[in-house]
Amino acid sequence: MLTLFSFLTALPAVLALHLLEPELVLPAFSLVLFAEAAFAVIAARLIHLPDNVEDITLWDLAGGFTLIGCAAVVFGEPDQAALFLTEQGGARPAASP
């Protein structure tokens, strides 16, 4: 389970570093991690495994993804997030009254 967590954390980071501009890496990385956390929560709700203190569960993965995603948001600057959202949306036509 720890290997899966490491792979699912490192893969988006490497892809973001290679595919995006440097100022867009942290906002995109945080969004991907929040999406992974949501999928982990859904999987944890659907798969009912017995609680075991020694093992890492899907709930632990969701918490780890959320924690790292929050750290990426904190280290990123607000103007980077705004740039990411405007880049994805493209040019919007002006609304006529």
Candidates 71, 4, 15, 14; CA nearest to 40 is 4
The full DSSP string for the chain is -HHHHHHHHHHHHHHHHHHS-GGGHHHHHHHHHHHHHHHHHHHHHHS-PPP-SSS--HHHHHHHHHHHHHHHHHHS-HHHHHHHHHHHH---PPPP-
Average pLDDT over residues 76-85: 67
pTM: 0.68
4-18, 47-61, 62-76, 81-95: least confidently modelled range: 81-95
Give residue 53's pLDDT band: very low, low, confident or very high (50, 70, 90).
low
pLDDT band at 85 (very low <50, low <70, confident <90, very high): low
